[in-house]
Amino acid sequence: MNITKEQIDDLNAVVKVEIVKDDYNEKVESILKNYRKTANIPGFRKGHVPMGMVKKQYGMAVRVDEVNKILQEALGKFLQEEKLDVLGNPLPKNQEDFNWDAEDYNFEFELGMAPKFDVNLKPKKAITSYKIKVDDKMVDSQVTTIRKQYGKLISQTEVAKDSEVTGTFASEKAGIDNQATFEIEQLKGKKNVDAFVGAKPGDVITVKTKSLFSEPATYQAALKISEDEAKDLNAEVTFTLTETNKREQADLDQELFDKLFGKDVVKSATELKDKIKEDGERQFTQQSDQQLMNDVTERLIDETKFDLPSDFLARWIQSTGEKPMTEEEAKEEFARSEKGLRWQLIEGKVVTENELQVTFDELKDYSKDMIKAQMMQYGQMNPEEKELDDIAARILGNQEEVKRLSEQLMNVKMLTFFKENVKLKEKEVTFDEFVKEVYN
């Protein structure tokens, strides 16, 4: 057997594999002898079938199978030994004159080679790293929400501006039929508020869906519609009122604090606000970190220039797809996946060059930290080390969990690396400013 590589250009190569009779014949003969012992052919006793008949019936299939096994093993070994950095898998070339009846065979495979490139972590224009601050207005709003959530509902005979109402939105034409509960304060505009104020249980209120609520999320939930449906919907709906209540806010006392955080963790309104601020900043850090990761990813993809073996990859996609694809469909699929592939190559280079691999000990510690955090949510503040080790061992015995946690830990490592090495500029913003700047 002989294997050679012909480099077409920097991104494309052809591997040629020559397999001769001596490479496969001994194994084929051995398999056919075993077939002869077990073959059940009418007119012959088992084990006495003529070898010529066995070869005629099974010989070609056994040879093809054995040659393919040798071929795949040899090709994989060659790629590994030569340390060839390929994209996708080798694609067999179409050889019109190929003949299985011959004794010696020549196979050719196309390779798509990974490009060589450098990653510049110091772009001329710094990437914004947002620091989202929790202001007093947000804290006070959260306190009010908590007091409402844990307060008492007092039944009313008619709707007032501070009421909470329950009823059913309906429109046969728009396909809406959904029970909803919301506060009158969540409605948008005086016209909508006036339509509800003074109504009594059993009354039917007619309103337009457009500009009905101040917040899109409330609008979508109340009418049970998607974000896309909400953009275009402008229908007349009825709201059949079933009940109206006033929510009396809970007192800021020790009973409420204990319900929220456990006994004596928080002991005053000031400590409550500090806790809300602390928790909010932690949540906002997660959001700003994710945005930073997105922005760094986009910048590195845009500024790291390299070519890909596009034609090869389109053919590879066409050959490996679950459903048959035309050449044009394969090219379109490659165009959709190209950005993701570019990031995989950039990420892989950053990981390799900076030794960011995840070790088993790191994965074990990471899983124990997650377990400990989850247990704290249920009041188990000081779990024993053995208990953590046992739970972690069960989790890490599941390969899917190992994969999921490894990806999470790698993201943490990548984020830490980018914070330390990428050119960044910090910008302090409120949450509303962050949303406006990032999502609008």
Q: Please report which residue ranges of 39-110 form alpha helices under DSSP H.
A: 51-54, 60-81
Tell me: pLDDT of 39 over 80.
Answer: no
- Give the pLDDT band (50/70/90) at residue 45: confident
- Give the C-alpha separation, 37 to 48, whole Å: 7
- Does position 46 have pLDDT exceeding 80, yes or no? no
At residue 151, does pLDDT exceed 80? yes
The answer on pLDDT for 323 being more than 90 is no
Mean pLDDT estimate for the chain: 92
What average pLDDT score do residues 312-317 get?
A: 94
Residues present in the chain in total: 440
* pLDDT for residue 225 is more than 80: yes
Percent of the chain exceeding pLDDT 90 equals 74
Give yes or no for residue 381 having a pLDDT over 80: no
Average pLDDT over residues 241-248: 95
Sheet holding 2-9, edge to edge: 2-9, 12-19, 105-113, 86-92
Residue 70 in this model has a pLDDT that exceeds 90: yes
- For residue 157, give every residue at least 6 positions away whose Cβ sits within 8 Å of its Cβ, in sequence order, or none: 200, 244
What residue ranges define each of the domains in the chain, with the CATH number in brackets? 2-113 (3.30.70.1050), 152-248 (3.10.50.30), 268-439 (no CATH)
Instruction: Yes or no: say if 214 and 192 are a contact pair by the CB < 8 Å rule.
Output: no
Residue 301 has pLDDT above 80, yes or no: yes
Range 78-95 average pLDDT: 92
Whether residue 378 is predicted with pLDDT greater than 80 in this model: the reply is: no
- Which residues are registered as beta bridge partners of 71? none
Contact predicate 118/306, CB 8 Å = no
| Residue 194 CB partners (closer than 8 Å, separation 6+) | none
Q: Which residues contact 111 (CB under 8 A, 6 or more apart)?
A: 5, 12, 13, 14, 15, 84, 86, 90, 312
Its pTM stands at 0.72
Cα 440 to Cα 436: distance, rounded to the nearest angstrom: 5
Lowest-confidence segment of 50-59, 122-131, 155-164, 209-218 by average pLDDT:
50-59
Rounded distance between C-alpha atoms, residue 374 and residue 16, angstroms? 55
pLDDT confidence tier of residue 383, bands split at 50, 70 and 90: confident
Which residues are CB-neighbours of 28 under 8 A, at least 6 positions away?
59, 62, 63, 66
**What is the band of 154 on the pLDDT scale with cuts at 50, 70, 90?**
very high
